[in-house]
Amino acid sequence: MALNDTTTMEMSYAEAAVLAVQREMEADPKVVVLGEDVGRGGIFGQYKGLQQRFGDQRVIDTPISEAAIMGAGVGMALAGLRPVVEMRVVDFALCGMDELVNQAAKNRFMFGGQGRVPLVARMPGGIWDASAAQHSQSLEAWFAHMPGLVVVSPSTPQDNYSLLRAALQCGDPVVYIEHKALWGARGPVDETLAVPLGQAACLREGDALTLVSWGKQLQACAAACDALAAEGLAVELIDLRTLWPWDREAVLSSCARTGRLLVVHEAVQAAGFGAEIAATAAEATDCRIARLGAPRIPVGYAQVLETQSRVTAEAIVAAARKLAG
Q: What residues act catalytically?
A: 135
Beta-ladder partners of 12: 186
Contact status, residue 187 vs residue 214, Cβ threshold 8 Å: no
Contact status, residue 267 vs residue 273, Cβ threshold 8 Å: yes
State how far the Cα of 167 lies from the Cα of 120, in Å rounded to an integer.
Answer: 7
State how far the Cα of 221 lies from the Cα of 230, in Å rounded to an integer.
Answer: 14
State how far the Cα of 183 lies from the Cα of 215, in Å rounded to an integer.
Answer: 12
State how far the Cα of 1 lies from the Cα of 125, in Å rounded to an integer.
Answer: 28
Cβ partners under 8 Å of residue 89, min gap 6: 123, 124, 125, 128, 135, 180
Burial (CB < 10 A; 0-12, 13-18, 19+), residue 194, is exposed
Give the relative orientation of helices 248-258 and 273-284 as an angle to the nearest 10 degrees. Answer: 60
| Best CA proximity match to 239, nearest among 277, 288, 275, 272 | 277
Q: What angle do CA 106, 109, 112 make, to 5 degrees?
A: 140
- Alpha helices per DSSP H over 133-288: 140-144, 157-168, 217-230, 248-258, 273-284
Question: If you ran DSSP here, which 8-state letter would residue 261 be given?
Answer: E
Q: How big is the chain by its Cα radius of gyration, in Å?
A: 19
State how far the Cα of 79 lies from the Cα of 26, in Å rounded to an integer.
Answer: 20
